[in-house]
Structure 1
C-alpha cells in the first residue's frame, strides 16, 4: 500500500514541478491572457497594451518574446488591436479555464503565470485519477510513470491551454463510470465549459449510462451539455465550424478571421487529413492505438468479459479520438492524452488477462496429464 501511494505522489509531483518550472510559453498564452483582460473590460489598444505588457514581463528573455510577436500572423496580432480581438472568439468559450486564470490573479499570480500553473496542477491531478483507474484493473500501479511519460502528460503540464483541465475531468468521468458513481453526470454536463469540443465525450458518456439504465438523468445531463455548448459559443461570438476549419487548416492563421472566405474546394478539406495521418504515424499514440486494435482483433471474444472496463478504457476513448480526428484533423495530440492513456492501460490489462488465462490453461493441462 505504501508503495502505491509513493508511486502516485512521486509521479504527480514530478509532473506538477515540471509543468511549473519548464512552461512552454506557447502562443496560446497571449490569447488566454487577452481573453482574461477582455473579461475585465479592456478593449482595443488598451487590451493589446495590457496583454503584451504582461507577456513581456513573464517572458523576460527577448528571444522568447520575439517568438510570440514575429511572423506575419503573430506580428499583425501584436500590432493591430482589432486583429487581437478577432482571435478571442476561438478562445473565450474555454470559460472555466479563463475564470480560473482570473481567480489565480487574486492569489498573487499574473494572468500569464496562471495559464501554465493551472495546466501543471490539473496535469498532476490527472495523474492521480489515472492511477486510481489503473488500481481498478489488474495492471500494476508501477506502470503509472511509464503510461504518463509515453502518452504526453508532461506536455499538457507545460502548456498555456485548457487541455490538462479537460484531461482531468475526462478521466474523472471515466473513473466515475467504472465505479458506478453519479459524478459522471455532472462531468458530462460541464465538459463544454472546459473545452467545447469535448461535448463529444459528454455524448459518449451519456450514451453509455443511458444504456446502463440511467435514462432520465443521462438525457438531462446531455441536454444540459448541449445547452451549455450552444450558449457558450453564442456568447463568445464563435465564428462557427467552417470558419474554424478554414482558419486552422485551409487558410492557416489569417490574422483577421472575421474576413475569412470559406473554401468550396473538396481537395482543401482532404489535405488536412493526409497531414494528420502522416503526423499520427510517427507519434507514440499511433503505437498505442495499433496495439489495442491488434489485441481486440486477435482476442475480441476474450477481452469483452469485463464490459465496463472494455467500454470505459477502450471503446469510449477510441471512439472519442476517432470522432475528434474526423471532425477536426489537428495533429495536436494533446487533445488525446486522456484517451491514449486509457487505451494503453486497457491493452496492458488485456495482456495481463491473456497471460493469466494461458497460465490457467497450462495448469489444467498439466493436471489432466497427471491424472491420465
Structure 2
C-alpha cells in the first residue's frame, strides 16, 4: 500500500470513528428526524404539485349522485368541478387524449355506466361526501390523500418508537420510496387511505389489541373491498396458530357479509369485466358489454402483468428482497408468534390476490410490503439486541 493510500485509509477511519461516536447517542433522534422530514416533504410536494387522474371525474360523480338524479346534470357538474381544480392543459389531457376519455366527456350515458367501479369503495366515497360540506370533492380527495400520508408516517414513527428502533428511520424511509409511497400520496385514489387502516390493524394485532385490529380491517374493507382476500388469509393463519383466533374468525364472517352488501349494487360490472378493463382495453360503455370468460386470455393477463411488474414497477423485486432477507437473516424460532402469523398471512395474501386479480402497480401492494418490511426490520432488531445481551 502506498503512502497516499495509507493516508486516505487513516483519514477515513478517523472521520468515521468521530462521526460514529457523535451519532450513537443521538441515533434515535436522528432516525426519527429523517423519517419525519421525509414524510413532511412528501405531504408538501403532494399539496404543491398535485397529480390529476381520470378517476377524479368518477369519484366526484359518486359523491354527488345522492343529490343529483339526472345523469346529464351529474356528468356536467362532475366535469365542471374537476375543471375548476386542474390546469387547462391537464383538463385537455383528461378529456381528449384517447378515445375512451373523449367518449366519457361527450356521452353522459356512457359515463354513468362506469360509476359501478367506484361506488364499490363505499368507505372512501362516504368520507369524501362527509367532507363535501366544507370543500368540493376534488379538494376532499386531495385532503384525504395528504392526511393518509401523514397518518402513515406518524404510525410508522410510533411503531419504531414502541420497539425502541427509531434509529432505523432512514431504512423505513427507503422502504417507503421503494413502495412508491410518494406516487400513492399524490394520486387521488382510495389506496393510501385503506393502507392507513391495514398498517394500523397490523400494529394493533402485534400489540395484542385484537378488537381494534378487527375494526381497522373492516374499515379498510369498506374503502377497498378487495382487501377481503387478506382478511380471509389472516383469519386462517390466526385459526391455525391461535392468537386472536376467535376475533379474527368473527372479523372474517362480518367482512364476508359486508362484502356481499357492498356488491349488492347491480351496477358493479363484476370481476371479469374489471380484469378486462385493466388488462385488455377500456371499452367506451358497459351497456350490453358481457365478454365471455377465457382461461387462455386470463393466463395472458397473468403473464402480461408479471412482465409489467418486472419492467416498470418495484413491488415484485421488493417482495423477493424481503423473502431473501427472511431466509438469510431472520431466525423464525426467535420471532414473536403474532409477528410470524401476520408475516405469513401477508405474504400468502399477496400471492393469492395476484392470482385472483393480477394488479401490476406497486401501489396496490404498498401496505402489505410495508407490513412485511416492518415485521422483518423489528425482528432483526430484536434478534440483534438479544444476541448482544447474551454475548455481554
Q: Taking structure 2 as the reference length, what is the TM-score of the superposition? A: 0.83
| Paired residues for 1:76-95 under 5 Å | 76-95=103-122
The 10-residue stretch of structure 1 (293-302 or 115-124) with the greater mean CA deviation from structure 2 = 293-302
Given the alignment of the two structures, is residue 256 of structure 1 paired with residue 285 of structure 2, yes or no? yes
Match of 2:321 in 1: 291
Quote the Cα distance in structure 1 between the aligned partners of 2:328 and 2:91. 51
Q: Which of 180, 195, 198 is residue 152 of structure 1 equivalent to?
A: 180
Match of 1:25 in 2: 52
Q: Deviations over 1:276-325 (max 9, x none)?
A: 2112224332332112222333457546533322332x322222222221
Match of 2:372 in 1: 343
Larger Rg: 2
Query: 1:19 touches 1:117 (CA, 8 Å); kept in 2?
Result: no
Query: 1:152 touches 1:334 (CA, 8 Å); kept in 2?
Result: yes
In structure 2, the gaps of 5 or more residues are: 1-27
Assess, with a 3 A threshold, how the Cα gap between structure 1 residues 236 and 138 changes in structure 2: closer, same or farther: farther
Assess, with a 3 A threshold, how the Cα gap between structure 1 residues 149 and 82 changes in structure 2: closer, same or farther: same
Assess, with a 3 A threshold, how the Cα gap between structure 1 residues 304 and 197 changes in structure 2: closer, same or farther: farther
Structure 1 residue 357 displacement after superposition: 7.8
Given the alignment of the two structures, is residue 127 of structure 1 paired with residue 159 of structure 2, yes or no? no
Structure 1 residue 189 displacement after superposition: 2.6
SS of 1:19's equivalent in the other structure is: helix
SS of 1:207's equivalent in the other structure is: helix
Structure 1 residue 260 displacement after superposition: 2.1
Structure 1 residue 220 displacement after superposition: 2.5
Query: 2:310 touches 2:316 (CA, 8 Å); kept in 1?
Result: yes
| Paired residues for 1:125-274 under 5 Å | 125-137=151-163, 139=165, 140-143=167-170, 144-181=172-209, 182-210=211-239, 211-235=241-265, 237-250=267-280, 252-274=281-303
| Paired residues for 1:293-312 under 5 Å | 293-298=323-328, 301-302=331-332, 305-312=335-342
Query: 1:295 touches 1:350 (CA, 8 Å); kept in 2?
Result: no
Match of 1:67 in 2: 93
Query: 2:272 touches 2:293 (CA, 8 Å); kept in 1?
Result: no
Assess, with a 3 A threshold, how the Cα gap between structure 1 residues 307 and 135 changes in structure 2: closer, same or farther: farther
Q: Taking structure 1 as the reference length, what is the TM-score of the superposition? A: 0.87
Structure 1 residue 170 displacement after superposition: 0.4
Structure 1 residue 121 displacement after superposition: 0.7
Assess, with a 3 A threshold, how the Cα gap between structure 1 residues 288 and 213 changes in structure 2: closer, same or farther: closer
Across the aligned residues of Structure 1 and Structure 2, the Cα RMSD in angstroms comes to: 2.6
| Paired residues for 1:296-335 under 5 Å | 296-298=326-328, 301-302=331-332, 305-312=335-342, 314-335=343-364
Quote the Cα distance in structure 1 between the aligned partners of 2:208 and 2:238. 9
Assess, with a 3 A threshold, how the Cα gap between structure 1 residues 146 and 297 changes in structure 2: closer, same or farther: closer
Structure 1 residue 347 displacement after superposition: 4.1
SS of 1:12's equivalent in the other structure is: helix
Structure 1 residue 207 displacement after superposition: 3.3
The 10-residue stretch of structure 1 (82-91 or 61-70) with the greater mean CA deviation from structure 2 = 61-70
Q: Deviations over 1:312-340 (max 9, x none)?
A: 2x322222222221111121221111111
Quote the Cα distance in structure 2 between the aligned partners of 1:42 and 1:117. 27
Q: Which of 37, 43, 68 is residue 10 of structure 1 equivalent to?
A: 37
Structure 1 residue 353 displacement after superposition: 5.9
Quote the Cα distance in structure 1 between the aligned partners of 2:287 and 2:334. 49
Assess, with a 3 A threshold, how the Cα gap between structure 1 residues 176 and 353 changes in structure 2: closer, same or farther: closer
